[in-house]
Amino acid sequence: MAYSDKVIDHYNNPRNVGSFPKGTPGVGTGLVGAPECGDVMKLQIKVNLESGLIEDAKFKTFGCGSAIASSSLATEWLKGKSVEEALKIKNTDIVNELKLPPVKIHCSVLAEDAIKAALRDFQEQWAAKQAAATPSVTS
C-alpha cells in the first residue's frame, strides 16, 4: 500500500509525542483502543485554566503508520482551540487531511474517540473541582 505524503510526514516527524507529568493541572487524558485489536492511542490535552484554551497536547500511539499520523495530526489541531471547538473535530476531517484509504478509516475514528475521551476527562475533573470548591447551597 502506498501512503500519502502527509501520513509519511507525520510518521517520520510525529508532532507532540510524549506525556504530561502526572498531576499537571488542566490535563485531560484519553486512552482508547485495545492491544488485541492492534491499536491503542493515548491523547492528552492541557487546558489553560484562565483562558479555557487548549495550550498543549501530547500523544502516544501503538498502531500502524496511519494511526500514528491520525493522532499526531489531532494534537496539532487541538492546540489553541477551546474545549467546545475541539469537540467539533470529526474523523472525516482527519481522513480528508491525511487522504486515508477506506481500510484506514478506523484509525481516524480512533483518533476522534481519543480526542473526545481526553476532553471528557478534562471536563469531569473540572466539574469535580468546581463542586469541591463551591459550597453547596442546599445544605
Partner 1 sequence: MALKLPIFMDSHSTTPVDPRVLEAMLPYFTERFGHPGSRNHPFGWEAEKAVDEARAKIARLIGARDPKEVVFTSGGTESDNLALKGAAEMYREKGTHIVTTAIEHRAVLDVARRLEKQGFAVTYVPVGHDGLVDPEAIRGAITDKTILISVMFANNEIGTLQPIAEIGKVAKERGVLFHTDATQAVGKVPVDVEAMGIDLLTCSAHKIYGPKGIGALYVRRKNPRVRIAPIIDGGGHERGARSGTVPVPLAVGFGTAAEICREGMPEEAARLARLRDALQDKILSSVDEVYLNGHPEKRLPHNLNVSFAYVEGESVLMGVNKEVAISSGSACTSATLEPSYVIAALGVDPELAHSSIRFGLHRFNTEEEVEYVGGRIVEVVIRLREMSPLYELAKEGVDIKSMRWKAE
For cell 486515508, what's the residue? 100
Comparison of 89 and 107: residue with beta carbon closer to partner 1: 107
Closest CA to 99 of 4, 11, 14: 4
Comparison of 85 and 124: residue with beta carbon closer to partner 1: 124
Q: Does 28 bind partner 1 (CB under 8 A)?
A: no
Cell of 50: 484562565
Q: Does 94 bind partner 1 (CB under 8 A)?
A: no
Q: Does 74 bind partner 1 (CB under 8 A)?
A: no
Q: State which of residues 4, 31, 79, 123 lies at the interface with partner 1 (CB under 8 A).
A: 31
64 a catalytic residue: no
Q: Tell me how far apart the alpha carbons of residues 20 and 34 are, in angstroms, rounded to a whole number.
A: 22
Q: Does 89 bind partner 1 (CB under 8 A)?
A: no
- CA end-to-end distance (rounded Å), the chain: 63
- Secondary structure (DSSP) of 55-114: EEEEEEEES-HHHHHHHHHHHHHHTT-BHHHHTT--HHHHHHHHT--GGGHHHHHHHHHH
* Contact string (CB under 8 A) for partner 1, positions 33-62, x = contact: xxxxxxxxxx-----------------xxx
Comparison of 57 and 68: residue with beta carbon closer to partner 1: 68
Which residue in 54, 107, 110, 111 is the catalytic one? 107
Cell of 121: 476527562
**Residues marked as catalytic:** 37, 107
Positions in the binding site for partner 1 (CB under 8 A): 3, 11, 14, 17, 19, 31-42, 60-68, 103, 106, 109-110, 113
